[in-house]
Structure 1
Amino acid sequence: MTGLRIRTAVPEDHARILRVCDQWWGKPVAHLLPKLFLDHFHTTSLTAEADGELAGFLVGFPSPARPEEAYVHFTAVSPEHRGAGLGREMYRWFTEAARAGGRSVVRAVTAPGNERSIAFHRSIGFTVTGPHADHDGPGVDRMCFELRL
């Protein structure tokens, strides 16, 4: 990870993330990240940069309804930086901040077909369950991730 810099996100990062997220995911996903996430949760979200270019991001927040939980809403690493530990490092930063904020659980979800995400979350210690039918509405199944801190 030489030359990479991880920092707390700022609201202005939203446009940078939207410009790359569909390409990085290989399908349209920008609609899953409305601007409100970086307007209201930028202080608990991260960006990673290499030579001034976006290399990765993690959008997450402490749950306002469940004081023991934090949630990772959306994360991605550019294809050029995958396999070097950047995703793992961003999750480490996030989980350390969650723990410092008194959280004891981190959660996330993904689609059942997202095998790369499922494997990644397992590799960093998350328990994976599912698929959970209709988790995000009729016909929208999800795999659920849980990490006890």
Structure 2
Amino acid sequence: MRYRTIQESDYEYVIERLNSWWGGRNMADMLPRLFFTYFHESSFICIDEEKIVGFLVGFVSDSVKDTGYVHFVGVDPEYRHSNIARTLYSMFFQYCKVKDVTAVKCVTSDVNKASIAFHQKIGFEASGCDDKGNPVVALNYDGPGEHRVLFELQLGRL
């Protein structure tokens, strides 16, 4: 497997498979082409032979000083548990460090328990936890009924 920055030409391959990678959930609306066009230096893909098997779309914020943001991460279900997402995140963290970023943020759906567990495993902390240690959900964060768990990772802790 090899890794490189995203190119605009990767968009069609990814978008055609995105919903199936999420078990039929409609995710394509959350990943417009603009991310592959304007954020390709800070976004990465994993390729196995000629097949894209994982990607991370991220950027350094122009508005929030010293902060990077991961907008979307996806791995082909056949390749999960192969450290692809972890490697993509590591590449983004390295990119951020070069840009003097100190924190990386992301959000995930409150129903995506695997994503919540993964982000916690690689060092992200939820914005808050209940008395049982479960991440607090930000209700209606992305609109009515679109609840999210907010995560942050301090790069100095890596």
TM value normalised by structure 1: 0.94
Q: Structure 2 counterpart of 1:22, which letter?
A: N
Corresponding pairs, count: 146
Question: Is 2:30 the counterpart of 1:24?
Answer: no
Residue 56 of structure 1, aligned match among 54, 57, 68: 54
Structure richer in strand, relative to its length = 1
> 1:9, 1:148 → 2: CA distance?
24
Q: Give per-residue Cα distances to partners, 1:115-145, cap 9 Å, x unaligned.
A: 0000000000000232011211233211011
Name the amino acid aligned to 1:108: C
Other-structure match for 1:143: 149
Matching residue within 130, 139, 150 for 1:133: 139
SS in 2 for 1:131: coil
- Mapping of residues 69-84 of structure 1, within 5 Å: 69-84=67-82
Corresponding position of 1:86: 84
For residues 10-21 of structure 1, the aligned pairs below 5 Å read 10-21=7-18
The residue number in structure 2 matching 1:99 is 97
Separation in structure 1 between the aligned mates of residue 13 and residue 59 of structure 2, nearest angstrom: 19
| SS, match of residue 8 in structure 2 | coil
Q: What do you get for the CA RMSD once the two structures are aligned?
A: 0.9
Give the share of equivalent positions with the same residue, in percent. 37
CA drift at 1:19: 1.2
> Offset of 1:57 from its aligned partner?
0.4
Unaligned residue ranges in structure 2 (runs of 5+): 128-135
Cα distance in 1 between the residues matched to 2:124 and 2:15: 27
- How far 1:10 sits from its partner (Å)? 0.7
TM-score (norm 2): 0.89
Shift of 1:18: 0.2
